[in-house]
Amino acid sequence: MTSRLTSPPASPLGIIGAGAIGATIARLAVAAGLDIVIGNSRGPETLAELVNELGPRARAATSHEVAREAGIVIAAIPLIAYTDLPASELAGKVVLDTTNYYPQRDGRIRALDDQESTASELVQGHLADSFVVKAFNNITFASLGNGCRPTGSSERSTLPIAGDDADAKQHASALLDTLGYDALDIGPLSQGWRSEPGTPAYCDPYMPAWPAGSLSTDELVAWLLSAPVIPVSVEQARTLIASAVRGPAGGYFPETS
Ligand SMILES: NC(=O)c1ccc[n+]([C@@H]2O[C@H](COP(=O)([O-])OP(=O)(O)OC[C@H]3O[C@@H](n4cnc5c(N)ncnc54)[C@H](OP(=O)(O)O)[C@@H]3O)[C@@H](O)[C@H]2O)c1
């Protein structure tokens, strides 16, 4: 890594990817008083409805503009698209990587299948001059949107973060705090597998047991959005992370009817 990290302004927060997780983080950020600039692959004009919903703190832009204009940028895109992240514009910046490996969606990635890398190490390899922090990957968009709580609340949840740069992780923790979450530093990016799909800390601790039987995609989303959020304390998160055993990489989307 050749760039030095300069202290980034928290606002505007950049978000590349405006789907389930990107739009949820955008809503949390706007609710917390941050300005956001958000982009996707199809262009800013396709984000008019979302930006309209988010109000005057939100602006749509191209991914390259997002990367240029924001100090901290969230990468909320399918892992398969990580090489599209604009590396030169993101140089020197903190990039919070939400991605997870789902072979059904992303295809097989040998370095992950062979456990030579974690998903966020791949992203860091592409963004060689950025400061990648793995964050927001182990909670569903629905739990994330419904589970934010103010600092000190007994119902506050903890999200693991991993990264190779201590300052970048501090900035990530501060952002999580602003959005309503405690952060647990689980180590460098090489330890990021501990919060990846299939591990004890992945999604399930924040929600009730999945409903039995086959649901349609719409029913599943409705269930996720209406399910109560189960708070995960720092100590609980630490225990879950410590109990992880590295198994085959990648998650599996449940079949929907
Ligand atoms: N959904 C969850 O609950 C959840 C939770 C934690 C982590 N994650 C992870 O977070 C990532 C995003 O998941 P998601 O569920 O939010 O996905 P999603 O709903 O499918 O949204 C993906 C977004 O990424 C954009 N995108 C795709 N390729 C792009 C590119 N090359 N450049 C710029 N933008 C691009 C898409 O824009 P277009 O529509 O214009 O292509 C879309 O806005 C995934 O890696 C996922 O595994 C998801």
Kindly tell me if the per-residue pLDDT of 179 is higher than 70.
Answer: yes
* pTM reported for the whole predicted model: 0.97
CA distance 131 to 88: 13
79 CB less than 6 Å from ligand 1? yes
Å from CA of 98 to ligand 1 middle: 9
76 CB less than 6 Å from ligand 1? yes
Q: pLDDT of 233-254, one tens digit each?
A: 999 999 999 999 999 999 998 7
Q: 11: pLDDT confidence band, cut at 50, 70 and 90?
A: confident
- Tokens coding 140: 């569903």
Q: 3: pLDDT confidence band, cut at 50, 70 and 90?
A: low
DSSP type of residue 200: T
18 CB less than 6 Å from ligand 1? yes
Q: Which fold has domain 13-242?
A: Rossmann fold (3.40.50)
Mean pLDDT of the chain: 95
* Per-domain boundaries in the chain: 13-242
Element (H, E) at 222: helix 217-226
Å from CA of 152 to ligand 1 middle: 31
Phi/psi for 224 (5° steps) reads -60, -45
Please identify, by atom number, the ligand 1 atom nearest to the C-alpha of residue 42: 40
Residue with the smallest CA separation from ligand 1 atom 47 is 100
